[in-house]
Chain A
Amino acid sequence: MSDGTYVQLLDLACGGLLLTAVLMLWRRELSAIIGVFAAQGIALATLVGVLAAHQGSAELGAVAVGILSLRAGILPWLLHRALAGAGPARRETRPVVNVAASLLAAALLTLLSYAVSQPLVALEPSTATRAIPVGVTVVLIGFFVLATRRRALSQLVGFLLMDNGITTVGFLTTAGVGLTVELGVSLDVLLAVLVLRILASRMRETFGDTDLDELRELHD
């Protein structure tokens, strides 16, 4: 792969990550959000695949395939299953902060991530490290989603968004995380999603809702 196409593909994948992160804040329907999450998984897998092709590392290529199947296949499928169980009334998110304000907050978070990741980029300026702010932005937006959504499922999406961001930063900063570490992290995320899904369905069975705002008081 020539240097020009490498830079272009890497930048495109980063653009895709940013765009999908913003779309997750923008859309209200949970099914659309899950679709966007799958698209982000594809963008992340592309990013890792491009890095693998550039470094000529077969191990990293295997990691890319693993990320693609996990983040664009299994996790969205699990979320869809959880959504189907929630019934028609629970299809929309109910953010604490309205959408326009959260979009403006995301704009500020982008600038913040650019400011805080400057020292990291300055350590070793290269095409990959220059994209670190993108990863940090995705982490911050994920955290924002986690903090401002009420339903358990949308919080789960926020958690996964944050994890996507952390993975992005990991691949951009290091020459390669290593197959074992990446496998461990992926299994961890998968388990977390499974556990949270079971927790959400138990909550629904017990309280009839997964609105976490209504779970503040203790009952007998």
Chain B
Amino acid sequence: MSALGVVGGVVQPLVVVAGSPLLVGMTRQLRARLEGRAGAGIGQPWRDLRKLFGKETITPRGTGAVFRLAPMVLVATTLVVAVVVPFVTTDSALDPVADLFAVVALLAAGTVALALAGLDTGTAFGGMGASREMTIIALVEPTLLVAIFALSVRVGSTNLAAIVSATLHDPSRVVSPVSLLAAVALTVVIVAENGRLPVDNPATHLELTMVHEAMVLEYAGPDLALVELASAMRLSVFLGLLANLFLPWGIATTASPLAVLGGVVAVAVKVTLLGGLLAVGEVFLAKLRLFRVPELLAGSFLLALLAVAASFFLA
């Protein structure tokens, strides 16, 4: 464990926790402006969280430990990912956990915990949302694994930090068919996994269309705040992963304060830009029919598989 890794392990979760509600606020504000509304302001998600954390804990009758533990599992898994994935520094605080398979498994574990909580409520919406989320994650997880695996083939290691440093030392890798195919595949699954348009509409509570919102319908107070915070953190973690796997420039390679500050600013700018693109894209997209979603995800899986194939036959 190097000094750089420790600095990253401390700075990264702080940046992710503080910045992710602002990212969500920024995307909402941008969308509101583009749709001709005034918008609630960039700080609104933080104000919502503060209000929700101040309320008393209340759980529906008949729910058990799964329901109460799920928000904490969700936040904890996302925090671990925020600590280990190279966002600000190229070294990782816990190097063995910064592995592609471990990170994807951690993120999927959070989703599964939330789906179990949705089932635990015993309501129709919770079960429906959970079943839809499982359909999506069953297609998203292999695509995530295969797409990042395509990048790791050239490096010869599934360690994310190793992949990022290799791209940093050899910028020509970015414009290769492997990177392009993997980037398209990753973008599609990140949109699907975070419940954004065209897979799920984050702004709606219309019962027939929602996926993520249906699972968390029964949460209130601090639990709801944790779930909201965790989904904001997941969005920033996924966007940060996308940004740093394909465009790692600006990331800190030494532990000097200036380099770390540069790394923080670089990752914030990249994630904000990606979030802005996401918000602008959502204005122009309609939600896809649920039965067309597997098609979209099968397509992205194929692109990821082609990326792996291309990394072998075009090497």
Determine whether A19 belongs to the interface, using a CB cutoff of 8 Å to chain B.
yes
The reply to whether B313 and A11 form a contact with Cβ atoms under 8 Å apart is no
Contact code string A170-213 (vs B, CB < 8 Å = 1, else 0):
00000000000000000000000000000000000000000000
CB atoms of B313 and A131 under 8 A apart: yes
Q: Is B204 an interface residue (CB 8 A)?
A: no
Whether A103 touches B298, Cβ cut-off 8 Å, given contacts A11-B176, A18-B181, is yes
Q: Is A126 an interface residue (CB 8 A)?
A: no
Q: With both chains docked as a complex, state the minimum distance between the C-beta of A45 and any C-beta of chain B, in angstroms.
A: 17
In the bound assembly, the distance between CA atoms of A110 and B146 in angstroms comes to 15
Contact of B313 among A22, A98, A130 (CB under 8 A): A130
A14 CA / B176 CA spacing, docked (Å)? 10
Determine the chain A residues whose CB is within 8 A of the CB of B312 once the complex forms: 114
Minimum Cβ distance to chain B for residue A128 (Å): 11
Total B residues in contact with A, Cβ cutoff 8 Å? 23
Q: How far is the CA of A18 from the CA of B302 in the complex (A)?
A: 11
Asked, given contacts A15-B310, A100-B294, A103-B295, whether A110 binds B305 with beta carbons under 8 Å apart, the answer is yes
Question: In the complex, what residue of chain B is closest to A7 when comparing beta carbons?
Answer: B314
Nearest-Cβ distance from residue A2 to partner chain B, whole angstroms: 11
**Which of B180, B184, B314 has the largest count of A CB atoms less than 10 A from its CB?**
B314
Range of interface residues on A (Cβ < 8 Å): 20 to 34
* Residues in A whose Cβ lies below 8 Å from that of B180: 12, 15, 19
Q: For the complex, give the distance between the alpha carbons of A98 and B315 in Å.
A: 33
Complex contacts, A114 vs chain B, CB 8 Å: 309, 312-313
Is A104 within 8 A of B298, CB to CB? yes
CB contacts between A and B, total, < 8 Å? 76
Q: Mark A84-104, 1 if CB is under 8 A from B, else 0.
A: 000000000000001110011
Contact of B306 (CB < 8 Å), options: A22, A98, A99, A121: A22
Partner among B175, B299, B309 whose Cβ is within 8 Å of the Cβ of A8: B175
A104 to B175, CA, bound (A): 26
Q: Which among B172, B175, B295 has the highest number of chain A CB atoms within 10 Å?
A: B295
Find chain B residues with CB under 8 A from A130 CB. Answer: 313-315
Please report the C-alpha to C-alpha distance between residue A15 and residue B176 in the assembled complex, in whole angstroms. Answer: 8
B227 at the interface (CB under 8 A from A): no
- Nearest to A131 among chain B residues (CB) is B314
Smallest Cβ-Cβ distance to B172: which chain A residue: A8
Of the candidates A8, A99, A110, the one whose C-beta lies within 8 Å of that of B298 is: A99
User: Does B303 lie at the interface of the complex (its beta carbon under 8 Å from any beta carbon of A)?
Assistant: yes
How many angstroms from the CA of A181 to the CA of B175 in the assembled complex?
A: 33
- For residue A97, give the distance in angstroms from its CB to the closest CB of chain B: 12
- A106 — which chain B residues lie within 8 A by C-beta? 302
Contact check, A18 vs B177: say whether CB atoms are below 8 A apart: yes
A4–B170 alpha-carbon span in the complex (Å): 12
Instruction: For the complex of A and B, list the 9 residue pairs with the smallest distance between their C-beta atoms, beginning with the closest.
Output: A15-B177, A100-B298, A103-B298, A99-B295, A26-B299, A133-B313, A103-B302, A100-B295, A11-B314
Q: A19-B177, A100-B298, A130-B315 are in contact. List 19 more A-B contacts (CB 8 A).
A: A8-B172, A11-B310, A11-B314, A15-B314, A18-B177, A18-B306, A19-B184, A22-B302, A22-B303, A99-B298, A104-B302, A107-B301, A107-B302, A110-B306, A111-B309, A114-B309, A131-B314, A133-B313, A134-B313
25 A–B contacts, CB within 8 A, in A order: A4-B172, A8-B172, A11-B176, A11-B314, A12-B176, A15-B181, A15-B314, A18-B177, A18-B310, A19-B180, A19-B181, A19-B303, A19-B306, A22-B302, A26-B299, A100-B295, A100-B298, A103-B301, A103-B302, A107-B302, A110-B306, A130-B313, A130-B314, A133-B313, A134-B314
